[in-house]
Amino acid sequence: MKYPMARITGTGSCLPERRLGNAELARVVETTEDWILSRTGIVERRIAAAGELTSDLATRAARQALEAAGVGAEEMDLILVATTTADHIFPATATVVQHKLGVSERHAPAFDVQAVCAGFMYGLSVAEKYIVSGSCRRVLLIGAEVFSRLIDWTDRSTCILFGDGAGAVVLEAVDSGERGLLSTHIHADGSYLDMLKGPDGVGYLPVPLTGDTPAAAMRRDLGYVEMRGNDVFKHAVKTMGQVAESALAAHGLTAKDLAWLVPHQANIRIIQSIAKRVGIDPERVVVTVDRHGNTSAASIPLALDDAVRGGRIQPGDLVLLDGFGGGFTWGAALLRW
Ligand code: UT7
């Protein structure tokens, strides 16, 4: 084999059954169907059922992707799950998924990637490195979230945005020069914690054995997602635009060469602004935010699977994936489908 490159050979997705529409939300918080639709483009989002975990959605999406690729879970050399809503603090959700797929006895490595809504872009970059280095021939990468569980459902500025779901891809090693992943570009700027953050982590729990913390008090409210939406909006447009341009420039390509842009699905106005900045026809932009809301790490693989199964993305198409999330984190990937 020549120097290997990674190619996505199968995609899959999973959405929980329950649909939460804008009218229902307008009965719970002070908002209107019109406001949500006009300010975000979202019509409905899905909400996982009680006991339906990130690993359940991830496993179902993975099975679809494996079937589409025509390979078995036992053939995966690495399992990655990009998530913000892990089943447990430990072990990694990827190990739970490995077990649910029935391949734990194979002992392939499995770990989680945490870059919030840019998690899938980070996961893609990790998968690419394992394949290009020759360490792995096949990688299963899943973006999966039950983000609804992190939300304060009395906060109208966040609860209208998010939803649950999972998207998965199988990546396989192919000879360089063939169709596949041309490059990934990921970045972070950790100075924006105050603009977008989730509940506190375990470090904020009470100190044990201090005399004043009976066992019952050890579990305290760790909070919810907090976001300065308008500021986040501006950063998302700027960074996603920049990284899209540098991904194209790295290959001497321009927006004219692109068949499809598959951006993170947070808000239709962000998507439209990026399309304008990149210079791609809105018709060539994959949009699922209307049906899925913002599913964080699941949003790009869900949108990708939608476009692949819908027959829009065709072999040979140049596809740009573009994501942004808390941290801030952001990234792009260019693929010859
Ligand atoms: O996944 C990556 C991270 N997330 C994002 O990329 C999300 C980025 N941000 C956004 O999508 C938008 O900023 C939001 C949809 C969150 C908010 O839209 P906006 O156009 O930026 O609104 P705003 O925050 O500037 O607020 C405008 C007004 C405010 O009222 P006043 O102060 O002008 O009277 C808000 O209180 O809209 C009000 N508002 C609402 N009104 C009705 C905020 N949320 C709602 C609501 N219904 N749900």
Residue 211 in domain: no
286 with 298, same domain?
yes
What is the Cα–Cα distance from 122 to 64, expressed in whole angstroms?
22
Residue 29 in domain: yes
Pocket test for ligand 1, best of 42, 45, 230 (most atoms within 8 A of CB): 230
Q: Is 147 in the pocket of ligand 1 (CB under 6 A)?
A: no
Q: What is the pTM of this model?
A: 0.97
261 Cα: distance to centroid of ligand 1 (angstroms): 25
Q: Which atom of ligand 1 is nearest to the CA of 25?
A: 48
Residue 208 in domain: no
Last residue of a domain, one of 177, 212, 235: 177
122 with 235, same domain?
no
Q: Is 325 in the pocket of ligand 1 (CB under 6 A)?
A: yes
127 with 18, same domain?
yes
- Maximum pairwise Cα distance, the chain: 66
Nearest CA to ligand 1 atom 28: 157
Q: Which residue has the tokens 């690729």?
A: 69
Residue 145 in domain: yes
What is the Cα–Cα distance from 12 to 257, expressed in whole angstroms?
26
Residue 203 in domain: no
237 with 157, same domain?
no
247 with 279, same domain?
yes
Q: Which domain CATH number covers 127? A: 3.40.47.10
Q: How many domains does the chain have?
A: 2
- Is residue 14 part of the annotated active site? The answer reads no
186 with 140, same domain?
no
Q: Is 274 in the pocket of ligand 1 (CB under 6 A)?
A: no
136 with 187, same domain?
no
121 Cα: distance to centroid of ligand 1 (angstroms): 25
pLDDT at position 307:
98
Residue 139 in domain: yes
Question: pLDDT tens, 3-62?
Answer: 799 999 999 999 999 999 999 999 999 999 999 999 999 999 999 999 999 999 999 999
Residue 329 in domain: yes
Last residue of a domain, one of 152, 177, 202: 177
Using alpha carbons, select from 172, 170, 148, 171 the residue that is nearest to residue 161. Answer: 148
CA torsion, points 68, 118, 121, 46, in degrees to nearest 10? 10
141 with 188, same domain?
no
pLDDT at position 177:
83
238 with 261, same domain?
yes
Residue 207 in domain: no
| Omega before residue 263 within 30° of 0, cis | no
Nearest CA to ligand 1 atom 37: 157
Q: Which domain holds residue 69?
A: 4-177
248 with 298, same domain?
yes
145 with 231, same domain?
no
pLDDT at position 139:
98
- Is residue 117 part of the annotated active site? The answer reads yes
Q: Is 260 in the pocket of ligand 1 (CB under 6 A)?
A: no
- Cα angle 230, 21, 54; round to 5: 80
103 with 238, same domain?
no
Last residue of a domain, one of 177, 209, 234: 177
Which long-range CB contacts under 8 A does 91-99 form with residues at least 24 apart?
A: 93/54, 93/55, 93/58, 93/144, 94/142, 96/53, 96/55, 97/55, 97/58, 97/59, 97/62, 97/142
Q: Is the pLDDT of residue 284 over 80?
A: yes
Question: pLDDT tens, 193-235?
Answer: 999 999 999 888 878 777 666 555 555 678 999 999 999 999 9
